[in-house]
Structure 1
Amino acid sequence: MSSKRTDSPKTSIVLVGGGIGGLALLNALSTSIDPEKHTVVLVDARPTHMHLISSLRLIVSDADELLTKAVHPYGDHTFRNKFAGNGTFVHGSVTSVKFGDGGKGGELILNNGEIIGYDILILATGSSWPRPLGFPTESRGAIEDHIMARRAEFSKAKDILLVGGGSVGLELAGELKDIFPSKPVTIIHREQLLLNATYPDKFRLAVQKQVEARGVTVLTGDAITASDASDVSTSQVPEGGFVTEQGKTINPDLVVPTWGNSPNTSYLSPDLLSSTGHVKILPTFQLPAHPNVFAFGDIIDWKEQKGAAKAAFFHTPKVAKNILSYLKLAESANVSSVDLMASKKSAKYSGSMEMIMITNGKARGIGYFDILWGIIVGGWLITLLKAKTLMIGRIPSQTGFTPK
């Protein structure tokens, strides 16, 4: 331990990112933090929590009233238990971070010019997604406009091409087939099998068989250029369609980019990031040069598949334990920097099992769990766990908000 603490009356804990992982951590800390000693600030680029698990169904149609059930505002209700009356929500995007030396507090600079000081900083800024999941940030109204525009595109389209056969493309295809069963939908995927090599070939082939059974055309080992997929909208498809890299001609009237995500880390300097833009961390989820700064979720540089379940169920318990240990150890020794790697009371992350549940509309799906020999589970279980309701019933317990 080193560096004396500042004389601030309360320790300021700032969490950037109110996604599924961020809210899971906020709720985990809310039962243990001492409000007489600590304050908490939640910063998010959007004024609302977007439940990404249900977002693909949300942008296809108004089924299940998801616009009300899955898009919850942040507010006083977000802060519960010991955080009640002791938390602040700030709507804004972080543009840069001024780090303190040796574990001392620093500052966040937001896009609106606001500056927020912190003693403990937690980064859970998640991923950026291509259209159609690139929801606006400025207001709920803009988010609703985006959703309505996507619904109109899908409704108007006569032939839809999804560029990318990962989980987003696969689940979107299933949602489209639920609402527009006779509308042609094609998935084009650069790899020879759907998804990626994290998963066994047997599972990847089973996924393809299930999606093709819905009437979806699957083109693997082929691609169109990224610029085509990014720029083309319903009114901009080239006359005569596209010629793929393998020489096939396809003629959709709507092209939707559904390839993978990228980490939201542009506010950090390159020396803190890997070549892929992910945040370098210790097994304690701390930044190596900044022990009072933690990062978790999609943004971390860790060899594993990214996803909300990883952040909420596997990262959050260890991050929460380490933050509480950090606060306790720093307070007891009256220092601002704690070496959690050397502490027996800290939780070290060594990874978690790979698992994926892919919905195929409301009544189908398939999943894989990397336990024992690798278990593939069928549609009835995925329907029960995810596909039918998309876990909508869990959202109020995460956000503290109950839609009327």
Structure 2
Amino acid sequence: MTTHDTPSVLVVGGGYGGIIVAKALDDAADVTVVEPRDTFVHHVAALRAVVDPDWVERIFLPYDRLLTRGRFVRDRAERIDGTRVRLASGATLTGNHVVVATGSGYPYPAKLDIPDGVTAKARLRATHAELTAADRVLLLGAGPVGLEFAGEIAAAWPTKQVTVADPSPVLLPGGYPDEFRAEVHRQLDELGVRLLLGTRVPQPPTAPGQAGGFSVAGIDADIWFRCHGTQPRTALPVDAHLRVRGVPGQWAVGDVTDVPELKMARLAQAHGEVVAANIRALLTGADLTVHEPSPDMLVLPLGPKGGAGYGPDFGVLGAAQTADIKGGDLFVGYYRDVLNLDPEGTPPGRAA
């Protein structure tokens, strides 16, 4: 803990929520970010990077310009006790505030649990090569990840046979209107994606992402991927201000919270904004901000030029509107701005 009047804030996790908190408080506190990765990984675009190797470099963004005053500690938090964080290296950090932003695990390639950027990039390129060699692709899980991956594969390789299987009889269950589901169905049909709802498929005999022919549950395929199974690092109970209940000085953002809403990058960012505002409010004596859980909203790309979306505020979106929102750069430019990086294409050393 600091010995002067400036409060200290430990942000455990440098993902979507963590970088928002750290950046917002850099001018008001001694901020330390604990993160095992050597770069920020823009997982929103990870599936695009699998089908298009030109995207691989684009989704790994350096942290080194995010903070002016604060610092990064490249390490993994093994235990968080109140405002004390024990690291895998054996060191212990303490702060006036600790923000838990450790996110969630998800099967590769939607998320890469590889701290070294060079190794992670090599794996993406290897997966692209395996996928290129496969004519028949099986995706297990028809949630947003499975459908987005199906759209990316079908758009990149129109001749591949892509099958998506899910035990749920309903496409995208949740608070979505039938018009939205019908639009997703329609575009999948146009892409030639075979959708098997109400179909439980046992795990294939080959390793996921590894080319090799097999037949399972009457489905013939050359490669498969698991597209379900979010695993939150924890499920911290938080109050309306995103303080961890019963733990003074501890806050939580993103997938680790028990907030009843979808687990998405944009919501982790929204949490980060609330927590940063509330820590600042405690420093200045201002009123705390309440986080209002977001209703179900989804903007689902199905390849660079397709997709569908729904939100209570804007209704149902078709392919052109979805592509305008997400299809182009999948928000790479936005996160480059968050991380204080030059726009893509700016020559090194030259201001944008």
TM-score, normalised with respect to structure 1: 0.79
What code does the residue aligned with 2:184 have?
V
Which of 55, 59, 63 is matched with 1:74 structurally? 63
Which of 36, 56, 73 is matched with 1:45 structurally? 36
In structure 1, the residue corresponding to 2:295 is in which secondary structure? Answer: coil
Aligned counterparts of 1:191 and 1:355: Cα–Cα separation in 2: 20
Structural RMSD (CA): 2.1
The Cα of 1:236 is off from its aligned counterpart by 5.9
- 1:61-91 CA deviation, whole Å, 9 max, x = no partner? 22xx32232211222x120xxxx1x211111
Which residue matches 1:306?
Answer: 263
In structure 2, the residue corresponding to 1:78 is in which secondary structure? Answer: coil
The 1:324–1:347 alpha-carbon spacing in structure 2 relative to 1, beyond 3 Å, is: same
- 1:109-164 CA deviation, whole Å, 9 max, x = no partner? 12222322222101111121102234143311111122112111211112100001
Which residue matches 1:348?
Answer: 290
What code does the residue aligned with 1:256 have?
F
Which residue matches 1:315?
Answer: 271
The higher radius of gyration belongs to: 1
In structure 1, the residue corresponding to 2:176 is in which secondary structure? Answer: coil
1:242 maps to 2:216 = yes
1:219 maps to 2:219 = no
Aligned counterparts of 1:399 and 1:287: Cα–Cα separation in 2: 27
In structure 2, the residue corresponding to 1:40 is in which secondary structure? Answer: strand
Aligned counterparts of 1:141 and 1:7: Cα–Cα separation in 2: 35
1:394 maps to 2:334 = yes
What code does the residue aligned with 1:293 have?
Q
Which residue matches 2:7?
Answer: 11
What code does the residue aligned with 1:45 have?
P
Aligned counterparts of 2:89 and 2:299: Cα–Cα separation in 1: 38
In structure 1, the residue corresponding to 2:84 is in which secondary structure? Answer: strand
TM-score, normalised with respect to structure 2: 0.91
The 1:129–1:170 alpha-carbon spacing in structure 2 relative to 1, beyond 3 Å, is: same
The Cα of 1:359 is off from its aligned counterpart by 0.5
The Cα of 1:353 is off from its aligned counterpart by 3.1
Aligned counterparts of 1:109 and 1:7: Cα–Cα separation in 2: 17
In the TM superposition, what are the counterparts of 1:146-157 in structure 2 within 5 Å?
A: 146-157=123-134
Q: Which runs of 5+ in 2 are unaligned?
A: none
**Contact 1:358–1:367 under 8 Å retained in 2:** yes
Aligned counterparts of 2:208 and 2:46: Cα–Cα separation in 1: 22
**Contact 2:30–2:70 under 8 Å retained in 1:** yes
The percentage of aligned residue pairs carrying the same residue is 27
Residues 180-189 or 147-156, more deviating: 147-156
Which of 20, 23, 26 is matched with 1:24 structurally? 20
Aligned counterparts of 1:315 and 1:386: Cα–Cα separation in 2: 21
**Contact 2:166–2:200 under 8 Å retained in 1:** yes
Which residue matches 1:380?
Answer: 320
In structure 2, the residue corresponding to 1:223 is in which secondary structure? Answer: coil
